[in-house]
Amino acid sequence: MDKAEVSYYFAKIDPMLQSLLERDVFDLLHRKLRDISLMDDERFRWCSHCGCGFINERIGCKMQCPECKKYTCFECKEKWEAQHDGLTCKQFKQWKQDNNPDAQAAKVDRYLEIHGIDCPKCNARYDLARGGCLHFTCTNCKHGFCSGCNQEYSSTCRKYKSCAKKGMHAHHPRYCLFYLRDQNVHELQQLLQNGEVEFDIEPRNGNQNAGCTVQEQKETLVDQMCGKCVKAQNAGLCEVHYKEYLVSLINKNNIDPAEILTVEQLRMCIERHDMKVPEIHQMEHEDVYRKRLVQMVQTKFPIN
């Protein structure tokens, strides 16, 4: 049912609902219907304070909610603070990290716990519980996307010929956690070292034997402590969450993971784009062939 049909349907039953529902419930329903109709407008945003949806008519990042009168940033969707004045969202985010009194102690946690996700279709914001499937469905607009790269999940995709046989899928870029979680920790660390990016290996509490403390969503849909065993030099995290931490640094610093991919992984990367994979030449060493594939992947499918 499309939006026009939904609007027609609710217009027909509106008088009946008005007689059946309490006034405050009826008004709430109308506000939600209004928000749904407005979400297609690129100016539509949610208030980070009270959750009200509205159209922002003013130019600039600082926008005021018509309901609670408080301010939210139009671009990063965070609560507006005085320190944001004159700073880009990236600069403001860095300022908050640099001025966090617990920044050094909580560096790993900051990457794994405080970052929420935004629906790429309606801009609804969610707190992201770590772990589980990367396929996220927005409860607001029902848009399905990957929480690692924002690519849409679809069972009717026709982007490539091979899509017809894949069923529900998304076109994850090679830097998405969807792929990089299959790499080993040493490879991800080496990638960061090559990019001269620092990362933690020691736990903040100094206890290597304690269970992983990252909050994740369990089968009961309740956020609970992970509790899995931690490994030495994994910053006090289990392997799954330590990889998430490393990948978050790779993504933040725009590091191309092509250099750590195997020949088979590089071939798959090319095949995913319905392109013919070059064959290895006679007498060509595999390392030379692999470098040729890396160059092709980086040239044909740049990450930026």
Active site residues: 133
Within 8 A by CB and 6+ apart from 120, the residues are: 143, 145, 150, 152
Q: How many CB atoms lie within 10 A of CB 158?
A: 8
Instruction: Output the six-digit token pair for 190.
Output: 């080496």
Distance CA 62, CA 192 (A): 35
Distance CA 118, CA 20 (A): 35
Instruction: Output the six-digit token pair for 186.
Output: 């040493």
Instruction: Output the six-digit token pair for 46.
Output: 């949610």
Distance CA 50, CA 66 (A): 10
Distance CA 148, CA 135 (A): 9
Q: Is the dihedral of CA 88, 94, 97, 98 positive or negative?
A: negative
The length of the chain, given as a count of residues = 304
Within 8 A by CB and 6+ apart from 5, the residues are: none
Q: How many CA atoms lie within 13 A of 185 on its CB side?
A: 18
Instruction: Identify any residues that bridge with 210 across adjacent strands, giving them in sequence order.
Output: none
Answer yes or no: are the C-beta atoms of 103 and 113 closer than 8 Å: no
Q: CA nearest 200: which of 254, 148, 236?
A: 236
Q: CA nearest 238: which of 271, 269, 203, 272?
A: 203
